[in-house]
Amino acid sequence: MKLARYFPSGQPHAVGVGIVSDETIVAIRLDDDLPSLSAILESMDPLSTVQDRQGESLPLSSIELLAPIDQQEVWAAGVTYKRSQTARMEESEAAASCYDRVYQSPRPELFLKATPNRVSGPGQPLRIRADSKWNVPEPELTLVVNSRKQLVGYTIGNDMSSRDIEGENPLYLPQAKVYNQCCGLGPWVTLASSFPPRDEVGIHISIRRDNQVIFSGATGLDQMARSLEDLIQWLGRDNDFPHGVFLLTGTGIVPENDFTLLPADVVDITIDGIGTLSNRVVQG
Ligand code: DO4
Ligand code: MG
């Protein structure tokens, strides 16, 4: 089952939650006991929670999808794929040994990526910092974790990154990663019970400029060097999330070093079992 947040047509302030299938969305009746998507994800069994609350069915084309986040924090893991380790070591001579060691260490790299106001949903712009000249999208399977630290679903994340800033000095990582519109999430949450077997999950990215594909790449979740449970376990050590948390699990696709995103590029990220998250890039 796929659960989305959306604005119904003509009601730009009334956030709805619905079940997505093919080209339709079935509205879920919300009330004080179940006011939001995160409340559904917090319930003991999200699937049965929404079963007897189904309302009208609408064409997907008639609504505006929103990022599937309410009050959760957004965290990210880094250097979880060999490709990311190699790219980071090339990017920064000074930090090469840090990236090499973290790829192999039991403790993963984890960082706070975004607060809800810094997140863009499907179709919303993602930003390149005005003070950066070397930027890439990072297509990442994203875990949806409730306040009990249980993995309840999956979505797509785009961990926008300023490679020149992070390459200049590893202590600049928070500035390379966290700024306005730095993180894409969506287009919805696939509940864990509906997610395909992990070793069959492919992750694809395509970047278009002037309607031409200028970069495409693919990897598989089976290429990740760590397990999803391991990442959640490290994130949750002495660290609570009263509203739940999104955890981006790292990128396995990094374009060659001569590539940078430009304003008006369109980034499409597709992950099997979820769908496609599409965003246009802006700067300044
Ligand atoms: O340390 C740099 C960030 C790594 C990252 O974001 C990734 O591997 O996805
Ligand atoms: Mg990343």
Structure-block tokens of residue 267: 């980034």
Which ligand lies nearest the alpha carbon of 176?
1
User: What is the Å distance from ligand 1's center to 147 Cα?
Assistant: 25
Q: For the residues 58-74, what does the mean pLDDT come to?
A: 97
User: Which residue's alpha carbon is nearest to atom 6 within ligand 1?
Assistant: 78
The pocket of ion ligand 2, defined by CB under 5 A, consists of 138, 159, 251
Please state whether 186 falls in left (phi above 0), alpha (psi between -120 and 50) or beta.
left
Query: pLDDT at residue 278 above 80?
Result: yes
Q: How far, in Å, CA of 143 to CA of 145, rounded?
A: 6
Looking at residue 135, its pLDDT comes to 98
| Cα 200 to the center of its chain, rounded Å | 19
Cβ neighbors of 116 (< 8 A, separation 6 or more) are 67, 69, 70, 71, 72, 74
Write out pLDDT tens, residues 14-45: 999 999 999 999 999 999 999 999 999 999 99
Mean pLDDT of the residues in the chain: 97
Confidence of residue 79 (pLDDT cuts 50, 70, 90): very high
Neighbour tally for 124: CB within 10 Å: 19
Neighbour tally for 282: CB within 10 Å: 16
User: Which residue's alpha carbon is nearest to atom 2 within ligand 1?
Assistant: 78
Position of tokens 């890439």? Answer: 136
User: What does the domain layout of the chain look like in residue ranges?
Assistant: 2-66, 73-283
Query: Ligand 1: which atom is nearest the Cα of residue 85?
Result: 8
User: What is the Å distance from ligand 1's center to 242 Cα?
Assistant: 26
Task: Report whether 142 contacts 157 (CB < 8 A).
Answer: yes
Query: pLDDT at residue 12 above 90?
Result: no
Q: For the residues 191-211, what does the mean pLDDT come to?
A: 98
Q: Please work out whether the CB of residue 252 comes within 6 Å of at least one atom of ligand 1.
A: no
Query: Ligand 1: which atom is nearest the Cα of residue 109?
Result: 1
Write out pLDDT tens, residues 153-188: 999 999 999 999 999 999 999 999 999 999 999 999
Query: Please, which residues bridge with residue 119 across strands?
Result: 183
Position of tokens 């990236």? Answer: 99
Write out pLDDT tens, residues 104-154: 999 999 999 999 999 999 999 999 999 999 999 999 999 999 999 999 999
Query: pLDDT at residue 97 above 80?
Result: yes
Confidence of residue 206 (pLDDT cuts 50, 70, 90): very high
Looking at residue 17, its pLDDT comes to 98
Looking at residue 9, its pLDDT comes to 85
Q: For the residues 202-221, what does the mean pLDDT come to?
A: 98
Position of tokens 């924090």? Answer: 73
Q: Please work out whether the CB of residue 79 comes within 6 Å of at least one atom of ligand 1.
A: yes
Q: Please work out whether the CB of residue 251 comes within 6 Å of at least one atom of ligand 1.
A: yes
Nearest-5° angle of CA 109, CA 115, CA 120?
105
Write out pLDDT tens, residues 237-259: 999 999 999 999 999 999 999 99
Q: Which amino acid is at 165?
A: I
Task: Report whether 260 contacts 136 (CB < 8 A).
Answer: yes
User: Which residue's alpha carbon is nearest to atom 9 within ligand 1?
Assistant: 250
Query: Ligand 1: which atom is nearest the Cα of residue 140?
Result: 9
Does the domain at residues 73-283 carry the CATH identifier 3.90.850.10?
A: yes
